[in-house]
Amino acid sequence: MSDSTYVAYFVMIVIAKEEFNIMDENKTEEELIAELAKLRQRIVELERLETASLQMETALRLSEEKYSKAFLCNPEPMMITNFRDGCYVEINEAFLKVTGYKYHEVIGHTVHELKTYVSGEERDYILKQIQEQGSIRNLQIKFRIKSGEVRTFLLSAETIEMGGQLHILTVTKDITHQRMMEERLRKNEAELRIIMKNANGVIFTLSPEGKFIFVSPGWTEALGHEIAEVEGCSFEVFVHPDDVHLCTSFFEKVVFTGEPQKGVEYRVKHRDGSWRWYTCSGAPVRDEARNPLYYVGISVDINEHKHIEEALRESERRFRDMLENVKLAAGILDNQGRLTFCNDFLLELSGWKREEVIGRDWGQTFVPQDIRERDMRIINRSLEGRVAPSYGESEIKIKSGEHRTMLWNNTLIINPDGSSGFASIAEDITERRDAEKRSQALMKELKSVNRDLKDFAYIVSHDLKAPLRGIRSLAEWIYRDYYDKFDEEGKEQLAMLMNRSKRMHNLMDGILRYSRINYYKEDDTSINLNDIVTEAIQMLTPPDNISIIIENQLPLLMLNRTRIQQLFENLIGNAIKYMDKANGQVRISCESHGEFWQFCIQDNGCGIEARHFEKIFTIFQTLKPRDEYESTGIGLTIVKKIVELYGGKVWVESKIGEGSTFYFTLPTLQNCFWRMNAIN
């Protein structure tokens, strides 16, 4: 018998003695055996109970080990606290990692001491919920960690009993970052809604089948369709038939490349039936397997831009047509001084073909060697400073080697890429400049001739006057001292000599006056013609039978006083000289004709034949024999020269026996100022 068996029997005897009293001496053997059998059965039950107890202890130990490992190794913070005072009984590693505490800083301390709850009311709420419901699931709550930072957790808890006391087992999940992301997402969504509402375009999503999943409110504002009329419809419903293939190719490219694409331009139908131009950018949105879920795009209205482009193209076409058809050389230079455009006239003028000059350096091709450095320095400096060269004159060398003089007008061009260039138009003034050179030579020659004429007039009127005065003085002396000694014929010849010498003297004075008309040193001044005419009449001392009438007020003009006085003296003097009526009349009047005053001097004298209307204004021409009417034939020539000097004209109307009317024009005061400024 083993020790364990011996112990077992010993126990049986003790139990039998105590419980069954089998050692009672009064019992029979059969009774004792029966009692012993009962005792054996009882021992077997005890052994079974002991085995079961051991198994339960083992299972409990294993369960506790599993629970402990699950508690300690859980990645989410866990804690066990006393239900009554909130004292920490156990915490796991995750709790320490999230809160920043060490183990000994937590165990044995209460949630109040660690100020775990931001508000004490929150713990009271948890206890109340546990008491009423037995547990809590996914309650959002804020905990304070060791650093003082408040973080957001999801809390689940229920009660457990440990050592006869009620405790709370709590599992938490730190969702601070998640909540931050959610808040940021909400803000982004709000901002996105604002952007979509105010975006200068339409934002949309499109299914792989080409149907609209979403369109922003901008669609209704821009195209008139309600959102419900668009979502779920194919894009082909709204895109112009000629542009459908273009849009399809665009989205196929988006799918093929997997990258955002932009720049496709197409027409979209407005609700009113019109078509509007849009440009679209799109990108694919894919799942984890890289399969396209949908496409996101934004379309911007470029209708006005398209119209501007079309107008610009039309303007450019008209501009090029104009440049091609005008008889002016036209060209455009880029920022390197290369010719990028030229019209046919420049090619025709230069003898080059278009393919021979486009893209070539302007200086090397067209600028003569002797001025190339100067011209290219001007061009380069202007390109750097983005200032067009000034309007000016320069030479070009054509293909034959001949030089042509060009008058240039330049305009600065700023290209879309920010670079600059010039558009230039030039007139070929070679012949003009040659003519000007010839004109300058002729002017120089004319000045020389005028100077000679002036000298000649001075000689004629001055140097010849001395001997003429001698002849006249001698004739007068003979006439005075020997007149009575001559016969009639001699007296007649002597009188003729004196008249001819006087006529010669007057002729020389007339030549001198005529030559000096252009050389008066007196400036044009404001003159009152009423005073001028009055002085002229007083100087002429008309006879009593001739009346001179000024019919209306004469104007104020800005002219040379001496010339105008000479003008009126000659015309009024002729009217007096050739008056053949007993009661002669001379009428002076004027009237305004725009920029000129028209003057009229009318007499009732003998009149002039129409065939002599031009002849009378020619120098030295007279209609009457000089022996009848003493005249030099210069007076009306002087009148014509003075009038034409001021841009006017003079003419006569006359009838034989009825008289003559001389007309002439002089500039108004305002026109005089204009002419003076132009001359200056």
Reply yes or no on whether the pLDDT at 238 is more than 50. yes
Same domain, 559 and 440: no
pLDDT digits (tens, 9 = 90+) for 526-549: 889 999 899 888 888 888 899 999
Q: Is 188 inside any structural domain? A: no
672, 540: one domain:
yes
Number of Cβ atoms within 10 Å of the Cβ of 146: 14
**pLDDT > 80? residue 15:** no
| Residue 469 pLDDT greater than 90, yes or no | no
Q: Is the pLDDT of residue 19 over 90?
A: no
Looking at the fold, whether 556 and 615 belong to one and the same domain comes out as yes
Residues 6+ apart with CB under 8 A from 481: none
Distances (CA, A) of 497 to 77, 625, 675: 153, 16, 48
Q: What is the pLDDT of residues 39-67, one digit of tens each?
A: 777 777 777 776 766 666 665 555 556 66
| More confidently predicted of 621 and 587 | 587
pLDDT at 321: 74
Predicted local distance difference test score (pLDDT) of residue 461: 58
Instruction: Give the residue from 281, 301, 321 where a domain finishes.
Output: 301
Query: Could you tell me if residue 189 is inside a domain?
Result: no
651, 636 Cβ separation under 8 angstroms: no
Give the CA dihedral 332, 333, 339, 345, nearest 10 degrees: 30
Residue 656: inside a domain, yes or no?
A: yes
Q: Give the CATH number of the domain where residue 468 resides.
A: 1.10.287
* 174 shares its domain with 30: no
CB 428 within 8 A of CB 405: yes
Q: pLDDT band at 232, cuts 50/70/90? A: very high
Instruction: Identify whether 532 is part of a domain.
Output: yes
- The predicted-structure confidence for 299-317, as pLDDT tens digits, reads as follows 888 888 888 888 878 877 7
Does one domain contain both 603 and 563? yes
- What's the CATH code of the domain at 591? 3.30.565.10
Lowest mean pLDDT among 168-172, 250-254, 461-465, 665-669: 461-465
Shared domain for 315 and 394, answered yes or no, is yes
Q: Are residues 170 and 204 in the same domain?
A: no
- Clarify whether residues 624 and 673 are in a common domain: yes
- Domain for residue 191, yes or no? no
- For residue 163, give both structure tokens: 């050592």
Average pLDDT for 110-122: 87
Confidence bin at 387 (pLDDT 50/70/90): confident
On whether residue 185 sits in a domain, the answer given is no
Domain count along the chain: 6
What average pLDDT score do residues 454-479 get?
A: 66
* Statement to judge: residues 374 and 473 lie in one domain: no
Q: What value does the mean pLDDT of the chain take? A: 80
Average pLDDT of the residues in 57-81: 73
Q: Domain end: 519, 539, 571, which one? A: 519
Q: What is the pLDDT of residue 304?
A: 87
Q: How many CB atoms lie within 10 A of CB 533?
A: 21
Q: Is residue 582 part of a domain?
A: yes
Tell me: do 136 and 157 sit in the same domain. yes
Mean pLDDT of 485-490: 77
658 and 543 part of one domain: yes
Task: Please report, for the domain that includes residue 278, its CATH number.
Answer: 3.30.450.20
The residue among 260, 281, 301 that closes a domain is: 301
Q: Is residue 24 part of a domain?
A: yes
The residue range of the domain holding 412 is: 308-426
Please check whether residues 528 and 445 belong to one and the same domain: no
528 to 47, 433, 572, 595, 674: CA distances (angstroms): 161, 44, 17, 18, 19
Residue 602 confidence (pLDDT) above 90: yes
